[in-house]
Each structure stands twice: as C-alpha cells, then as structure tokens.
Amino acid sequence: MAGLRRRLVKRRIRIRRTRGRRVRRALVVLLALLANLVGAAVVAYHLTKIPEPHPETAMQSTVFVDDHGDYLGRRGPVDRQEVPLSQVPRYVQEAVIAAENRSFRTDTGISPKAIARAAWATVSGGDRQGGSTITQQYVKNALLSPEQTLSRKAREALISIKLDRTRSKDEILQGYLNTVYFGRGAAGIQSAARNYFGVDAKDLTVSQGAALASVINIPSYYEKAGSDPKVTAKLVDRWEWVLDAMADSGAITSAQRAGARFPAFRFYPPGDTDGQRQYLIDAAASEAADRLGITEDQLARGGYTVRTTFDLTAQDATAELAADGTDKKTGEKSGKKTGEKTAEEKAAEAKAGGKKQAEVTASGDVRVHTAVVALVPGDGAVRVLYGGADYASQPFNDARDGAVEAGTALEPFSSMKLLAPLTDLTRTAAPTPLRLASAYATAAAHGVYATPYTVAKITRAGRTLYEAHPRTRTAMTRADAGTVAKFLYGRSDAPLATQTGAAGLRTLWQTTYDEHLTLTVALFAEHPAKGKKAALPAPLPYTAGSRSLSVAEGVWSKIVGTAEGHDPAAEPNPGLPTGQTKPILATR
C-alpha cells in the first residue's frame, strides 16, 4: 500500500509540473485547427464564383395593356417582369425589409444564427428552418438549387457574403424584388402588383406594399387573401406587424401608419382569360414582334410592355352585345311572340319567293358569326377587333382574317378609281371586315388611307423601344370621298334597313362612320363541321338585321361615350353637306 501511495504522489507532482506545457500544446493544436479552418474558408471564399441566375429567373413575360393602360393579358412562360429599383416606391422596399430582414441595410449578407439553426435542423432531421437574410433568399432562389444540404448551405453563405461585398445593397434588393415569389403565379414585385391590385409596382400605395411584403412569408397560403376570410384575417395581423415595424424604423410617418387601411385584393382565382382578349393579344403580339424584328417567342420571353390601341371597355361591350339574345339550340333568340312575323321576316320571305322560314333555312343548327371592327380614320388605330365569341373554341379571328362575301357592301365604291392599297377592293368578292372598314375610314378621312395598326408603344424596363406613327397615303380623291358620304347619307334618313336577296341571306354588313370613328359589323352563318363533314354556308336568321343594328349602335355609343367628353357625332363630317353633323350609316 505504501508503494502505491508513493507512485500516486509522484504522478500528481509530474502532472502539476507538465500542466502548463500540455495546455500550451492544446492551444497550439486548437489555434492550428482554427487557422486551417479560417484558411480553408478564405480559400473557399476566393474560389467561390457568383453563379449566373437560373434561366427561369431570367425569363420574363410580355404584358399587353389597352389604350388607357388597363391590363389586357400576357404572353410568356413565367409571369415576371423586371423593373428597376427606382420604379419601386421606397416605402414598398422598406415594407419588404421590415417583413423579411430588418438588418438588411447593415448586415454582411448572412445570419449566423439562421445558418446554425438550419444546419442543426438538417443534421437532426428536424423541420426546415427559415430566417435567412434577403441576400441569402436571393442566392437560394435565383442562383442555387433549393436542396437542403450542409454543403449547399455552406455555399449559400459564401456566395451571400461575396455578393454583399461586391454588390450594393440596392442591386441585391432589386434582384430579390424581381425574382421572389408572391403567389398567384407572380414572380417579382411588378407581376405581384398587377395580379393582386391591378396596378404597376410604381403605383403601389403604402398599404398595398405592406400587404405584398406580408405575403412573401407563405405565398401559397396568403394568395387567397380577399376571397378566404380565414386567410385574410391572418394576413391582416401580419400586415399590421409590418406597418408597425415600418413606423418604428421611420420608414413611414405616424400619420401614414394611422391612416393605413387594409387594401382590397383582386378576386382570386381569376376567371377565364380566353374568350375575347386572346384575339387582341394575337393581333398585337404578331405586330409587336414584327416592329421589333424578333419572333413572337422572343417577344413573349422578353419582358416587354406592349401598349395596344384597343379600348377594352368598348371591346367587352361588343362581346356582350354580340352574344345578347342567343342560345345554344338555334344560335339566336328573336324576342318576338311565337308565330309573329317581323317586318324583316316578311321582306326576306318575299325575296325568297314566298317560302316560309323553315324552307329557307337549311335543317340543322346554324352558327351565326359576328365580326366587328372599329378604327380611327386618318390614323389607323384599331379600337375594337371582335373576331369571334370564344377564342378557346375558335382561335381564328373573323374580323382580321375572315373572308366575308361583300355583296352590295362595296356598292358606294363601284364607280370610282381607287388607288393603292385599295386598288383591287371592288374586285374582291370576300374582303376581311378589317379591310372593308379601312376603305370606309378612307372615305371618312377625305380619301386618306391609314394602315390599320394595333400597337401604339413598346417599352422595356421603362425604356421606349417603339412608338407608332400613322402611315398614310392618298387612296381616293377628296371628291370621291365626298360622293361616298353623300351616297350613304342618302340611305340613312330612314331607320336602318337591310337589303336582302340571294347574297343577303348569306352575309350582312353594316358600317357607321364619321371623321373620328369607323365601325363595321359583318354577320354570316354556317352549318358547323361535323365529323368528316366540312362547315357549309347557311342562310342568316331573319333577325340578323336587328342584331347587326343593335351591335353597331351599342358599340358606337360606348366608344363615343368613353371619349373624354368628345362626341364624334356632334362635329362636322367631311363628306356631308354643310351643316350636317349626324353619323354616316351604310348598310348593304
């Protein structure tokens, strides 16, 4: 026992004597390890390259708006449009910072706590952790894959630090705002502003900006705000939290905070966007691509804003008027009592040799096509281009491309010499409604032909790339233009009438014009194709005349009524006798 005791005492003495040396060795090893880690981090930092954004984050959609700037639709694989940070109000920027990363302006691009928390969750198999900085979110969403691994997290941190050191905070914030997902299919602040509130990003209010910033947290959930009461209530709480943070940081004043009201969201999910608008987008996309010298696919992916010449209010009214009074069975509802004959029916029956309607109208369903064109004489801007009831079932545009038998619609031009591009008009058996409207517009403009156009302006990232200017040339003499006007005016003293005959049972035209507007309505009928049997021409229903008149008068009054106090019918017409101001009405 005595020997064991002596050995233990000697060991304790030896340990005390060598403790300092061992501590120093441990410190050296620890410092060496730390130095190696730091060195490795430095090397990794220098070797790390900031990758290019994913192809999908570089893609943009092209947006089409009407003549007043109202949203018409878009083309492209991704609903995203880049905007410079200067077009995002400062309070919207600060709202996003308050919601997502309040230290953004001062941090180094990373959040060590968030990285440690995410790393631990990955190792332990816990739930995925958020809390990344705006810089990290931008790197993750736009530059890296979304996989949750330690190596990817480490690379995300290195890229974020390097991005923060090599780019300005404004550059990073701009990239983030243009790529972050807001729900409702919208990538980026511009598309989000449009999809949630129907405005451009530059026009967002404080309340709207705070609402969009609040959505970023869980976009797939909050996108239903405005239509789902539970989701709306939860978003209101988060919106209040964001506004409070903005007020505390001085981003908004106490008066702005007190006056903030939760904004009204557009209905979601949206309705069917086909129908009429796709006809307009087709026409404008083709023209815009031609003006820029690119393909339509390049246009769709290019992030352009195309301001068209269309008047959406008038276009929607046209669609409503054209569809009014129809049903699935016969394609038309006359509104008269059973067995009662209208004046039109009697006249048509007389022209048909006394045959009854059942004998004149071929058996089977008859589909009535309506095409409407409204354009500005002397300018060529197309305001209305109604080419069919539903783009989804008939993508072919009857107004722009349909060949409709002219009959006597060209009678006013029959005895005059027309110049290009109307030279062969009177020899054209079936012109398109757009071409015939252009001919009457030429008469309305004292013989000056204006090439029809649908694109007024094309911009990208705030820069104007194309602006339309009327392309005109003389296509008839001023005297001939006056002759057309007098010819038509002579037919407009009495209520509108429809001349009928063999051709009259197949097609019906009506044109209204003055020096400010030309409106053409064309109707024709067919037996729809069935199986291998092609579509065949069919006689128009007897009520086609009243239908045509209803559409023409309704569209005319809609356009005139929305023209900022301007009434075309109240101003002198170039072809009318002195003192006459009423619109010119031409019917075939």
Q: What is the pLDDT of residue 129?
A: 45
- Residue 246 structure tokens: 């903005």
Lowest mean pLDDT among 5-14, 173-182, 210-219, 558-567: 558-567
- Checking if the pLDDT of 351 tops 60, the result is no
**Cα dihedral across residues 248, 253, 257, 260: positive or negative:** negative
Helical pair 189-197 and 206-215, crossing angle rounded to 10 deg: 110
Task: For residues 461 and 40, give the distance between their C-alpha atoms in angstroms, rounded to a whole number.
Answer: 42
Report pLDDT digits (tens) over 189-230.
Answer: 999 999 999 899 999 999 999 999 999 999 989 998 888 899
Give me the half-sphere count of Cα atoms (radius 13 Å) on the Cβ side of residue 187: 19
- Checking if the pLDDT of 57 tops 80, the result is no
In three-state secondary structure terms, 425 is helix
Cα–Cα separations (whole angstroms), residue 476 to 82, 408, 479, 485, 490: 47, 19, 8, 13, 20
Q: What is the pLDDT of residue 362?
A: 37
Task: For residues 554 and 588, give the distance between their C-alpha atoms in angstroms, rounded to a whole number.
Answer: 19
- Checking if the pLDDT of 112 tops 80, the result is no
Residue for token pair 């989000």: 192
- H or E stretch including 152? helix 150-166
Degrees to nearest 5, angle at CA 505 with 499 and 507: 85
- Residue 71 structure tokens: 């949203």
Report pLDDT digits (tens) over 234-255.
Answer: 999 999 999 999 999 999 999 9
Task: For residues 513 and 585, give the distance between their C-alpha atoms in angstroms, rounded to a whole number.
Answer: 7
Q: What is the pLDDT of residue 328?
A: 34
Q: What is the mean pLDDT of the chain?
A: 79
- Residue 282 structure tokens: 């087709």
Q: What is the pLDDT of residue 542?
A: 78
Task: For residues 107 and 92, give the distance between their C-alpha atoms in angstroms, rounded to a whole number.
Answer: 20
Phi, psi of 72 (to 5 degrees): -105, -45
Report pLDDT digits (tens) over 442-467.
Answer: 999 999 999 999 999 999 988 999 99
Q: Are 398 and 371 in contact (CB under 8 A)?
A: yes
What is the 3-class SS of 513-545, one letter each residue? ECCCCEEEEEEEEEECCECCECCEEECCCCCHH
Q: How confident is the model at residue 22 (pLDDT cuts 50, 70, 90)?
A: low
Cα–Cα separations (whole angstroms), residue 519 to 212, 399, 496, 581: 43, 12, 15, 17
Section 529-554 average pLDDT: 82
Lowest mean pLDDT among 205-209, 471-475, 521-525: 521-525
**CA-CA-CA-CA torsion for 417, 421, 423, 428, nearest 10 degrees?**
-130
Phi, psi of 254 (to 5 degrees): -65, -30
Tell me the longest C-alpha to C-alpha distance in the chain: 143
- Checking if the pLDDT of 582 tops 50, the result is no
